[in-house]
A and B are shown apart, each in its own frame.
Chain A
Amino acid sequence: MLNKNIYLILIISLVFGISFWIGFNVNLLPAEASINAPIYDELFKILFIIGLIIFIGMTIAVIYSLFKFRKRNDQIGDGIALEGNLSLEIVWTIIPSIIVLLIGLYSYNIYDRMGGMKELNHNHEMMSSNTEKIWAGISQTSDNEIAINNLSIEVSAMQFAFLFNYPKGNFISGELHVPVDQKVSMKMESKDVIHAFWVPEFRIKQDIIPGQPTILNFTPTKVGKYPIICAELCGPYHGGMRASIIVEEESDYKEWFNKNKKPEVNL
């Protein structure tokens, strides 16, 4: 009996140890390039570790049962006539409930930190009217945000391209240029079918829905060039509907902006 308990404790420790080791040392995600990314990765790590513990534990239990309790050639008859165990069943109802509840609360906290529970900025400078319904995206803010003022960009999605309108510069670009460490606020509209704006390195995604503008805010934290991918099936060339987001230093961004800027035409 004592031996059995020691083995059990050893196996459980091993499962936990392996799961934590994999969780902390195996990185399955792309680079972190926005304020959102490390927050997301924190949640991913926790879910990954809990998932590994359950998966490895269950797999060991099944394979062990198959070997340990397999029917030998000389055996006849049945196994033990055990039809249930109320206390055991209560335990494996309550413990998963608590785990699920804790995961839910934790993910709520993560979502809140990402800005998902905040009211969107309804004084958005690009809104055509106060009555226009803006649908929720992520409106992210951060205490240590360096942003002084938001950069506002209008995104138009169509089969099979993204177009980025910079209202302050009165020009449209096929590439999205943004300065590092500054909050970007995008108002997104679709010209035809549903598209989705996804930057894997930023861990953000938002559908672009015809007839319903959506807003997406993010703050890039790492200089570089990242793919913008349409994630919603939008037609034959869906796989080719990609663009680039170029995160650059403030001075480089200003240089690019000034090069493309057009004078406003007053009619």
Chain B
Amino acid sequence: MTISIDPQKTNNESLQPKGWLRYFSFSLDHKVIGIQYLVCGFLFYLIGGTLASAIRIELASPMSDFMPRDVYNQVLTLHGTIMIFLWIVPVVNGAFGNYLIPFYVGARDMAFPRLNAVAFWLIPPSGLMLVASYFVDGAAQAGWTAYPPLSITTPQSGQIIWILSVLLLGGSSIFGGINFIATIIKLRRPGLKLMKLPMYCWAMLGTSLLVVLSTPVLAGTLILLSFDIIANTGFFNPVLGGNVVVYQHLFWFYSHPAVYIMVLPAFGLVSEILPVHARKPLFGYTTMVFSIMGIVVLGLVVWAHHMFTSGTPPWMRLFFTIATAFIAVPTGIKFFNWVATLWGGKISINSAMLFSCGFIINFVFGGITGVALAQVPFDIHVHDTYFVVAHFHYIVYGGTVFIIFSSIYHWFPKVTGKMLKEKLGILHFIITFIGFNLCFAPQHWLGLNGMPRRVAEYDPQFQFVNQISSLGALLMAMSTIPFLINVYLSVRNGKDAGDNPWNALTPEWLTSSPPPVENWEGEAPLVEEPYGYGKEITEGK
């Protein structure tokens, strides 16, 4: 018997709805999936942001008076989990990775389009399940780190739903990682060498390696934790002979690389944005590539710096101090190179550029406190305090989220064919930058002076500084308003962008805006100089 395949029935696009309905379908088009990731992630960002606002309202006064204490712990757990697993990781990897990587390698789509769709469609149900767990029997309340024995002894249904949700999101992340590695390595257009790829490809390659190497460890750990909760096993339960420090080792073996899974793609994106708006080649391409790979290697061997007060032996503390501090070297190289990219350019001061420069300033600050935290004696005093909260938010919000916004301003014209309004964009940047620094800079002082993290009540001497921090959080919440208005107005009646409004050289700008179904009308262009600004190709434009 022969099987005949009707191409009409297997061609995904012929079966897909058109227009905005595409985004509610199981589309296999990498661009549609990218936008699905972005919008879905942004909705969860709004939920996570609402939870953050609730936390800051609670902390505006020293007593626990805004919500019950157990609800507060649920709120902080959901805030952390949503922001990491449903906003930053999916958006900075899934959204921009899916949209841009096939363009950059000269492909029509990702290597595994169906796997790509599965990876995305795991996210909305997991996220909704996580949020809904609050209404079941209360959400998880052991923090996003879910340390046992606390995670074993708190109400179980919320914790189990949390584990299931994070497992699915981890699966989604692994699917995406495999897809990116395969696409970058195997789907490159003939003639396109690895060292000619735009930097974001290298960042995604490094990130995907981290995802594939470390996420399964988290999955295994959480499965063991769920056994402890459901089946009363004793992997991590000290009452049954389990070891809680082993959980911490396994958890941080994923969750420290997770920080690099959040920032490496941002490093790649900023490397794409700065040269375009500064009209200069990316400075030090080769060292940028090696520094990404250096961060990947070092990122895998620093996890125990989260456990300096957990009874780790002295030799281990020493090793992880040195390894962690050395991450500053490849990271520093990247920052010096970005500043060198700006130097001598012809810089357009627009929203994308401002958010990228804001990122550099914030991330340097967060990086410096990171090097300090890497030192065991320093960390012992501030571990598990607001100093760490501040450092972490300087990295993931001041760093990654700033770049997400910068990237939206940069690629919005390509995705929609419309320009975003600059005045609203600059207003968005100013409120975000001031609000963010007002919220998190004072928290360093709080941590140094005795305010632990994850508390609903605190010493009244810290009230004034906490109120400043809450004021900053209010500004951050408000900063979303001009952004949303801007997107709405621009989509409805924004100025036409044309194919290449920034005169950029990377391949996505060499096709129409929005791009056609398979990216290019004809053959994919071979771009060997993605950063050839100042050379004959672009001079005079």
A-to-B contact residues, CB < 8 Å? 28-30, 39-40, 43-44, 47, 51, 54-55, 58-59, 61-62, 65-66, 69-71, 75-85, 88-89, 92-93, 96-97, 100, 103-104, 107-108, 110-111, 114, 116-117, 135-138, 192-194, 196, 198, 200, 203-207, 209-212, 214, 227, 229-240
B252 to chain A, nearest CB (A): 14
B372 at the A/B interface (Cβ < 8 Å)? Answer: yes
Bound state CA distance, A108 and B531, in angstroms? 43
Bound state CA distance, A83 and B347, in angstroms? 16
Within 8 A of A (CB), among B288-338: 309-314, 317-318, 321-322, 325-326, 328-329, 332-333, 335-337
Are the CB atoms of B149 and A194 closer together than 8 Å? yes
Q: Please, which residues of chain A bring their CB within 8 A of the CB of B459?
A: 227
Residue of A nearest to B534 (CB): A81
Q: How many A-B residue pairs have CB under 8 A?
A: 288
B284 at the A/B interface (Cβ < 8 Å)? Answer: yes
The 10 listed contacts between A and B (C-beta, < 8 Å) are A30-B450, A69-B345, A69-B346, A71-B347, A79-B278, A116-B377, A210-B244, A212-B243, A239-B455, A239-B456
Q: Please, which residues of chain A bring their CB within 8 A of the CB of B340?
A: 82, 85, 88
Are the CB atoms of A192 and B332 closer together than 8 Å? no
Sample of 6 more A-B contacts, CB < 8 Å, known A81-B533, A235-B73: A61-B339, A65-B339, A65-B347, A84-B283, A85-B340, A206-B380
Are the CB atoms of A69 and B371 closer together than 8 Å? no
Are the CB atoms of B378 and A78 closer together than 8 Å? no
Are the CB atoms of B342 and A69 closer together than 8 Å? yes
Are the CB atoms of A205 and B286 closer together than 8 Å? no
Residue of A nearest to B384 (CB): A231
B-to-A contact residues, CB < 8 Å? 64, 68-70, 72-73, 141-143, 147, 149-150, 153-154, 238-239, 241-245, 278-287, 309-314, 317-318, 321-322, 325-326, 328-329, 332-333, 335-337, 339-340, 342-349, 353, 357, 360-361, 364-365, 368-369, 371-372, 375-378, 380-381, 383-385, 444-445, 448-450, 452-459, 531-535, 538-541
Bound state CA distance, A107 and B371, in angstroms? 11
Given contacts A66-B342, A137-B311, A236-B69, contact A54 B364 (CB under 8 A): yes
Q: Please, which residues of chain A bring their CB within 8 A of the CB of B344?
A: 69, 79-80, 82
Q: Please, which residues of chain A bring their CB within 8 A of the CB of B342?
A: 62, 65-66, 69
Bound state CA distance, A89 and B329, in angstroms? 11
Are the CB atoms of B364 and A80 closer together than 8 Å? no
Are the CB atoms of B454 and A117 closer together than 8 Å? no
Are the CB atoms of A230 and B245 closer together than 8 Å? no
Are the CB atoms of A239 and B371 closer together than 8 Å? no
Q: Please, which residues of chain A bring their CB within 8 A of the CB of B375?
A: 43, 47, 103-104, 107, 110-111
